[in-house]
Amino acid sequence: MIVYFADRKMQILGQASTNLNDGIFIIDDTKTEYISNGVVIFEATICYAGRSEKDMRKICASGNYLLRKHNTENEFYTIVEREFNEEDKEVTLYCEDAGMDLLNTIAEKYEASQAYTAVGYIEEWIRGTGFEIGVNEISNLKRTLKWESESTVAERIASIATQFDNAEVSYSFEVEGMAVKRLLINLWKKRGKDAKVQLRLGRDVKNIRDKESVQSLATALRVTGGTAEGGNEPITLNGYSYDDGDIYVDGTLLKSRSAIAKWGSLWSNGKDIERTYTFDTTSQSELCAHAVTELRKVSTPTKTYDVDIIELPENLKIGDTVYIVNDEGELYISSRLLELKTSVTADKNEATLGDFVEKNSGIDKEVKELAEKLANINTSPGSTTADTLSLTVESSRGVVFTDTLVDTNLTAHVYKNGRELTESEVATVGKIIWYKDGKKTHEGMTYRVQDVEAVRVSAQLEV
C-alpha cells in the first residue's frame, strides 16, 4: 500500500508505504466503511525516523489531501486530524473521504416549497465543493422536505437519502495517475450484492448470539404526515380507506388484526399496543403505504444476531449479503455487511453485520426436492445375476441449504441382498459414477456439491 500527500492545490508533497525500505513507512492502518452515512474513514500511523520533522509537519498538515493506492483501490481523503509523537518519531492521521467542503460547511434550515428529487436538494448545498452526482438509482422519486435545524452538508446528504425511502450514499473518486478527475456522490436504493457466500458456525464463525425483543413491538400506529400548504396541522389517515384483510385504517390509527390477536393480553380486552409514526408527505396514500410497511416491521419481535467471524472472505464489499449457517441448531439467516474494517499492515478484515433475516421459508421443500433428485438410483445395467443390488445417496448436511445455495457432501451406499457393501467390496462389483445435470463429473464413493443455486445430481453403479 502506498499513500501520497498533496496540498490544497493537489501538488504532491511526499509519500509513505508499507514497504519498510522507504524513508517514511506505514506501521499501522485501518480503513472503515459505513452503510449509515456512506463516509469512509482511513486512519494510519506513519513512522518518519530519519526525516525532518519540519518537512513532515508540512506534508501531514490537517486539511491536506491523502491519496491511497492498494491493489486496484484508488482512494481520495482529506486529513481531518493529525497528532505527532515526537519521541517515537510517529504521526497518526485521521482522514475522511467526504472532504472539508462537505464535513465543515453548514447546511442551514430549509423548507421546500414543492416536491424535488434527491439530486435537486443535494445540488443546493454542493455548489463549489467540486462534488457532483455519480450513480443515481432514485431519480424517479420526489419529496417535499423540511429541516428545522442546521447540520453539516455531509449530514444533510445522509438525511436526504434517508427520507428518500432509506436510500444509501457512497462517495467515490476517479483518479488518473496523481490527478483526481472527479469527486462523486452516489445514491443507491441499496448498496451491495448477494455475495452467495456461506459463513458456517465452527468453520467461518466462532459464535452466534441470538437476541429477541418485544421492547418496540406495536399492534397499531398513530400516523401523522406533513403539513399541507396553507394548513395548520399535519395530515393524518382520518377519512382514508385501507384494508388488506390484516392491516386497516381506523380513524387516525393503522391497526393489525393478526398482531392484536397474537399480542393482546388476557386483561387488555382487545386494546392496541400503540406507537407513533411520522412520514413527511402531504399525500394520504403515500403516508399510508409507508405506515403499512412500518407496522409490518414492528408488529413482530425484533430479532438480532451477534456474529463472531473467524475469517471474512476477501471479495466481500460493504453492503453485500452473506448467509450465516448453524447446522446443529438449524438456523439459517441472511445478513448485510453494515460496517467493514480492513487493515493492510495487520492483514485482517472485520465486519459488523446487520439487517438480519431468518431464512425459514421453502427450505424443507427445497431439501425434499433435492432428495428426490438424488434418488435417481440405477443398478448395474449389465447385471444378470440373481443378487439384488441397490444404491442410495446420503447428504451430509441435511437441511443446510439456503434459499439460493447448495453446499453438501454426498455419499453413495451400495447394498447387496440388503447388506451394505464396504468400499473394497463395491470395487469388486463396479464403480460409482456421479452425473451432474446429465454429464459425468466424478468417480468415487463421495462427491461434494457446493456454491450452486440449482443442480440435478445422480449416482450410478457401473461395471
Q: Give tens-digit pLDDT for 266-316.
A: 676 778 899 999 987 888 887 888 899 899 889 988 777 777 777 777 778
Q: What's the pTM value of the predicted model, to 2 decimals?
A: 0.60
Q: Is the pLDDT of residue 361 over 60?
A: no
Distance CA 171, CA 45 (A): 24
Q: Is the pLDDT of residue 375 over 50?
A: no
Q: What's the mean pLDDT in 427-454?
A: 82
Mean residue pLDDT of the chain comes to: 82
Confidence of residue 376 (pLDDT cuts 50, 70, 90): very low
**Element housing 295 (H / E):** helix 284-298
**Strands (DSSP E) found in 327-382:** 331-343, 348-358, 377-378
pLDDT value for 309: 77
Asked whether 253 and 246 are in contact (CB, 8 A), the reply is no
pLDDT value for 380: 42
Considering the chain, what percentage of its residues have pLDDT values greater than 90? Answer: 25
Distance CA 99, CA 157 (A): 13
pLDDT value for 402: 45
Segment of 36-45, 265-274, 369-378, 392-401 carrying the highest mean pLDDT: 36-45
Distance CA 460, CA 390 (A): 10
**Element housing 391 (H / E):** strand 389-395
